[in-house]
Amino acid sequence: MINKVAEYLSREGFHFYEKSFRKFSEDIYIFVVKKANEKSIGLLTQRDFTLSSPYFTERKYLKEIGYYLNLYPLTYENFVILKDKFSIAPSPCNKKVSFGMGDRLGLVTAAHIRAVQNYDVFPVLAQQSPRELMKTHRSFKEAILKAILGVLEEGYTGKFGADADHIKDENYLMEAIDAGYTMYTLDLSDMLVKLSDYTESQLKEKAEKLNITSKRIIEKFKGKKFVMPTEEAFTVSEEELYKSALTYEKAMDFVEKVYGILKDKVKNFDLEISIDEGDKDTTVEDHIFVAEYLHEKGIDFWSLAPKFPGEFQKAIDYIGDVDKFAVELKKHQFLSREFGGYKLSLHSGSDKFSIYKVFSEITEGEFHIKTSGTSWLQAVNLIFEKDKKLFKELYQIALYNLEESKKAYKVLIDKKDFPENINLEDSQIVSKPEIKQLFHISYGVLLEERKKQIFEVLNKYEEEHYEFVRKNVENHFKEIFSK
């Protein structure tokens, strides 16, 4: 049957993705095709089952196989039908290791799936933040549709997640809920009280006004000594615990509000609490306060992202003392077990090869890692290989807009670090840390000015693009799971 379908589609000018061909019942098959760089969902049916908005208003009957064939765009309405009828949809995590693989362009979910197939990893295939969506002019619904299309294209039948990342307000939360996301990462950075903005007397006054829950946590844990399995120990500082309460209490109200909305509107979901933004490393007191406060409020969270020592800059390896990182990670891992068994999450996790092994070992192989820009950089690498002229244009645009792009990301690069005329004969140019950081943060302006040309190259060399991404993500896994 598959050969007959492929022959017909080829005659009609379609590229047929053979891996996508799957059987749902005795009389329904589904597959993915592409024509003029537009991908569609195909259905073979013997009965009256259709999706909405068909490309062909009349059904094509393939007499040789006795099936009707229709092609459809993957609209959100069609996704809902596939979700309801065939359970093709994201779900909460069901494995110890989970890995977020944001796809800024919506082109490489198939490659992400290929990368995980040899590893016991739960892939979070749709992972986007409001910031990324704004810069790419996409929506939460569009991001999830592109992920679903990749799932269908690759014929993937395993479970996968969808993460509404860096949620800071109710509007974006509701958009993600409406789109069907199964993971919600709450970014508390804008809600934290900056203690340096207040005088000592003002802080003392604020401390007196802390709510009952905060005061109870301080009384419960001040001076408490924790002894870890390694026999290393630490004692909770009352002063630091007060600082934690003053810093985080307001943010806890936001978490409580969001949790109530999610419990009301989403059947099953993973909740991640992100406290990794900013310059301040997460202390044990911070961790204790946040975890205990949320549990006292009956909030069941799936993972916590602390701010670890060192620099987690975009597109490059970890900068810092790995031994110091390990010392603090052990404390946070111990606390995650003491306070409920949630995962620790590593944000800005792309290309942090020097700490993957220690992170995996100390967390006992149960953790979440987020990446995003690393896959976008593989698109840049492909363009460098296939279209030097376009790469040079992208470089010049990125360099011209560097200061504006830096406003959204923490990177330590400056315009003076870059030559105005880049040496395109240097095959290692795209591997240089400053070049990687430049392109990592510049995707918004580059898509704004050269999206058509970028997509033309990536669509023309689709398999090569997939291979670049697959190898890159697999390199992460090889280090994470190294023994």
What residue has token string 């760089």? 37
Cα-Cα end-to-end distance for the chain: 45
- Cβ pair 290, 304 in contact under 8 A: yes
**The predicted structure's pLDDT at residue 323:** 97
pLDDT score of 335: 98
* Pairwise CA distance, residues 369 & 355, whole Å: 12
Q: Can 448 be counted among the known catalytic residues?
A: no
Residues near 456 by beta carbon (within 8 Å), at least 6 away in sequence: 37
Nearest to 270 by CA among 163, 174, 116: 163
In contact, 155 and 19? CB cutoff 8 Å:
yes
> What is the predicted pLDDT for the residue at 352?
96
**Res 176: pLDDT:** 98
The sign of the CA dihedral 275, 276, 281, 287 is: positive
The yes-or-no answer on residue 321 being catalytic is: no
240 phi and psi angles, rounded to 5 deg: -70, -35
Q: What is the pLDDT of residue 58?
A: 66
Q: Do the beta carbons of residue 184 and residue 167 sit within 8 Å? A: yes
Residues 133-171 as b/e (b if ≥16 CB within 10 A, e otherwise) read: bebbebbbbbbbbbbbbbbbbbbbeebbbbbbbbbbeee
Q: Dihedral sign, CA of 402, 403, 409, 413?
A: positive
Which residue is catalytic, options 165, 328, 351, 366? 165
How far is Cα of residue 97 from the mean position of the Cα atoms in its chain? 14
In angstroms, the CA 125 to CA 135 distance is: 19
CA distances from 212 to 208, 209, 294, 296, 473 (A): 10, 9, 13, 11, 46
CA atoms of 141 and 483, how far apart (whole Å): 39
pLDDT, averaged per 10 consecutive residues of the chain (483 residues), comes to 93 95 91 95 87 75 91 94 93 97 95 96 97 96 97 97 97 98 97 95 96 98 96 96 97 98 98 91 98 97 97 94 98 96 94 96 97 91 98 97 93 91 93 96 97 98 98 96 87
Within 10 angstroms of residue 179's Cβ, the number of other Cβ atoms is 20
**At how many degrees (to 10) do helices 140-154 and 170-179 cross?**
30
Contact status, residue 203 vs residue 247, Cβ threshold 8 Å: no
Residues in the chain: 483
Please give the pLDDT value at position 57.
63
How far is 16 from 415, CA to CA, in rounded Å? Answer: 45
Helices 373-386 and 443-460, interaxial angle, to 10°? 60
| Residue 393 buriedness (CB in 10 A; 0-12 / 13-18 / 19+) | middle
Q: Is 433 exposed, middle or buried (0-12, 13-18, 19+ CB in 10 A)?
A: middle
Catalytic residue among 272, 285, 292, 366: 272
